[in-house]
Amino acid sequence: MDIVVIMLTVIGLFSFFATTVGLLRFPDFYSRMHAAGKGDTLASLLMLLALALYNFHEVNLANLLVAIKILSIVVFIFMASPTATHAITDAAFESGVKPWTKEPEEES
Amino acid sequence: MDSFFIATGVALCLLMLLTLHRTVHGPTAIDRIMGVNVIGTKTTILLIIIGSIYHRVDMFVDIALAYALLNFIVTIAASRYFHHRKNLSSRGYGYKFRAEDD
């Protein structure tokens, strides 16, 4: 059981690391939002699943309730994170943030 | 297992510090909202890790759930506030804004 917990946590940490690197190094708002929206959701799923497994080591009613609450956080994040990503990207698009192109546009 | 969770929490804090660079120096205000959103998601997980270290997950899981709700509401409210706002800060990588065109 501990090996599964450690593996899920390490994969989740790697996903968070990839999110942070993408957030710092991508050249554009939209590509940064792409990295932040997807990596964050996947990493929260993996790490919260690992923590729910770790807290369910001894089977009784209280631990079952805690595991169900942690899984409810997963369900909430899976509904909330794409909605928040869409809202931020829509706000950026409506306020006119231009996407990054390879050739730099001439300054007018 | 406790030391493993402590190391995970420290690594999450370092990643949050790196994300804070994007939040502070972000070229536009929208980038800052995005950085706050990512930091909030990491904080939700860090709270449950703290609960696992102190063996009081039953208390910390409620705080984490409330934090996730608050993070979502903050992101939605801030992005609605910057909707249709043309004067976002224009320094940054190759940004040109639609307000300059028309």
Residue extents of the structural domains in chain B: 2-84
Range ranked top by mean pLDDT from A33-47, A94-108, B80-94: A33-47
Distance from CA of A65 to the nearest CA of B (A): 8
Query: What ipTM goes with this model?
Result: 0.86
Q: How many degrees, rounded to 5, is the angle at CA A64 between CA A63 and CA A68?
A: 115
Distance from CA of B29 to the nearest CA of A (A): 9
The confidence score (pLDDT) of residue A92 equals 85
Q: Express each pLDDT in A27-78 by its tens digit.
A: 888 889 999 889 999 999 999 999 988 888 778 888 888 889 999 999 999 9
Please tell me if residue B43 touches chain A, with a CB cutoff of 8 Å.
no
Taking the C-alpha atoms of residue B95 and residue A97, their distance in angstroms, rounded to an integer, is: 7
A36, B41 Cβ separation under 8 angstroms: no
Please tell me if residue B64 touches chain A, with a CB cutoff of 8 Å.
yes
Please tell me if residue B52 touches chain A, with a CB cutoff of 8 Å.
yes
How confident is the prediction for chain A on average, in pLDDT? 87
Distance from CA of A83 to the nearest CA of B (A): 8
